[in-house]
Amino acid sequence: MSDQPTVTAYEIATVNFDRAADLLDLSPEWRTMIRTPFREMKVEVPLYRDDGSFTTFIGYRVQHNGARGPFKGGIRFSPHVGEQEVKALAETMTYKTALVDIPFGGGKGGVNVDPRDLTQRELEHVTRRYVSRIHLILGPNRDVPAPDMGTNAQTMAWIVDQYGRQHGYSPAVVTGKPLELGGSPGRAQATGRGVMLIALAAARDHLGKAPADLRVAVQGFGNVGMNAALLLAEAGATVVAVSDHTGGFHNPGGLDVAELAAYVTRDDGDGTLAGYPGAEPVGADDFMGVDCDVLIPAAIEGAIHKDNVASVQARLVVEGANLPVTPEADRQLDERGVLVVPDILANAGGVIVSYFEWSQNFQQYRWSEADVNERLERILLKAYHDVAAKMKALDASMREAAFALAIGRVVSAEELRGSL
C-alpha cells in the first residue's frame, strides 16, 4: 500500500528516545537499561480452522518496563505484528503511563493474524490459545492487557474467562472489558475523547482557534478515529475527511460523522467505510494533503512519512495512533512550524480510563460515566500543561518535552527502587 511506513516502528521509537535522552544528558548505561525490555515472550498460537485445515500463528507479549507499576498495554491482532513492532509499542506504553502519571509500566502484545479472515469461533480459539501460552506472566499486579488494533471488548471477555480458569476470578487482569464483566463506563470512547480534548486545547493555544473554526481530517475510522471524529463534531468542529483501510471520503463543507459512524457500525455491514454513498471518495495518496487545520492520523504506524509530508496542509497534527509520524516527516513538520502532539500524550485517554477500570475492579465498585469523563479530562489536561511547561523550560518540541518528562520519571523510579 502506498501509505505504508518507510521506516519501522522500532526506528521511530529509537529516534524519539534518543532525542529526549540527549536533552536529559542520560548516560549510555541508563539508555541501555531503560530501552531493554524487562521480558519478551514469543509463543505458538495453533488453530484448527472451521474448514478443518490447520494454521499456526505467532504471538508476542513484551513487558518493557515495570518500575512504576504493572506492565500495561494492548493486544493487537494484525498480519503485520512482529517482534520489533511489539517492542516499540511496549516501550511507547512505558512513556505514556509515565507521562500521564498513572501507576503502570509499559507492555504490548499481539498475534500475527488478520482478524478479518477469521470467524468468531476461530477468533475465540486464537485468543484462548494465546492466553493459555502467556497467562503465567499476566496478572492484575503483574501485566494488564487491553484492546488494540483488531481486538475489542469481546476479546477482553475471552481473556478474563481464560485467565480465570487458571487463576480464579480476576477482572482486573485486563481492561477494556464489556460493562457486564467489569468494564468501565466511558472506556470505549476514552482514547477518542482524549484525542478530542488534546486537539481542542492545542488548537486554542497554538492556532488561536475555537472548536467551531476548526476543520479536521481523521485517518482511521475504528475505535480511536471514529470516536475522535464524533466527539470533535459534537464539540462544533467540521470534520472534512475520514478514511479507513478501504478508502476515504472528503467534503470541504463537512461530513455527517454520525451518519458515517452509523454506516460503519450497521448490523449488516462489514465494519468499514466501503461503499458509503454520502460523500466524494478521496484516495489514500491524497488523504494527508486534504485542506484542514487539524490532521489526526489514527490508524497505523508511519502514516505520515517523507513521501507524503510535503502535502500536509494542517497546522496541527494530533497523533491518535501510536508512532504515526516518521522522524523525517516530524523534522519537516517542525521546520514548517506545524505542531505535532505526540502519541504518548494525544492518545493516552484510553490507558487513563483503563487505570480507572482497573481501580474500580479492585474496589468492586462502579463509577458513573460523568465521573470517569471528568477525571479523564483532569488527568489528561494536567499532562498537557506539564508538557507545555517542559517545552518552554527545554526550548524543545512537544515530542521531545513529553518524552523527556516521561523518561525522567521512569529513570527516577528505577533509581528509587535501587534494584539494578
- The count of other CB atoms within 10 Å of the CB of residue 387 is 26
Q: What is the DSSP letter of 27?
A: -
Q: Map residues 270-299 to x or -, x wherever contact with ligand NAD holds by CB under 6 A.
A: ----------------------------xx
**Binding of residue 148 to ligand NAD (CB under 6 A):** yes
**Binding of residue 223 to ligand NAD (CB under 6 A):** yes
Closer residue to ligand NAD (CB): 105 or 220 = 220
**Binding of residue 326 to ligand NAD (CB under 6 A):** no
Given 72, 96, 108, 177, the catalytic residue:
108
Q: Which of 30, 104, 130, 221 binds ligand NAD (CB under 6 A)?
A: 221
Closer residue to ligand NAD (CB): 46 or 281 = 281
**Binding of residue 300 to ligand NAD (CB under 6 A):** yes
Residue 256, C-beta contacts closer than 8 angstroms, at least 6 positions apart: 278
Q: Is 108 known to be catalytic?
A: yes
Closer residue to ligand NAD (CB): 245 or 390 = 245
> Which three three-digit cell numbers place residue 377?
479530562
Distance of CA 123 to the CA centre of its chain: 22
Q: Which residue has the cell 485468543?
A: 127
Q: Name which of 332, 339, 310 is nearest 401 in CA terms.
A: 339
Q: Which residues from 154-193 bind ligand NAD, rule CB under 6 A?
A: 191
Q: By CB under 6 A, which span of 23-31, 214-222, 329-337, 385-393 interacts with ligand NAD?
A: 214-222
Q: By CB under 6 A, which span of 26-34, 136-144, 145-153, 233-241 interacts with ligand NAD?
A: 145-153
Q: By CB under 6 A, which span of 16-24, 141-149, 376-384, 396-404 interacts with ligand NAD?
A: 141-149
Q: By CB under 6 A, which span of 10-18, 35-43, 240-248, 392-400 interacts with ligand NAD?
A: 240-248
**Binding of residue 357 to ligand NAD (CB under 6 A):** no
Closer residue to ligand NAD (CB): 30 or 221 = 221
What is the spatial distance between Cα 134 and Cα 380, in angstroms, rounded to a whole number? 31
What is the spatial distance between Cα 330 and Cα 246, in angstroms, rounded to a whole number? 26
What is the spatial distance between Cα 109 and Cα 61, in angstroms, rounded to a whole number? 4
Residue 121, C-beta contacts closer than 8 angstroms, at least 6 positions apart: 50
The nearest distance, CB 148 to ligand NAD, in angstroms, is 5
**Binding of residue 220 to ligand NAD (CB under 6 A):** yes
What is the spatial distance between Cα 69 and Cα 143, in angstroms, rounded to a whole number? 9
Residues making up the chain, counted from first to last:
420
Number of residues forming the site for ligand NAD (CB under 6 A): 25
Q: What is the DSSP string of 286-344?
A: HHTTS--SEEEE-S-TT-B-TTTGGG---SEEE--SSS-B-HHHHHHHHHTT-EEE-HH
> Which three three-digit cell numbers place residue 129?
490459545
Binding site for ligand NAD (CB under 6 A): 1, 3, 147-150, 191, 219-225, 243-245, 298-300, 320-322, 347, 350
Active-site positions?
Answer: 108
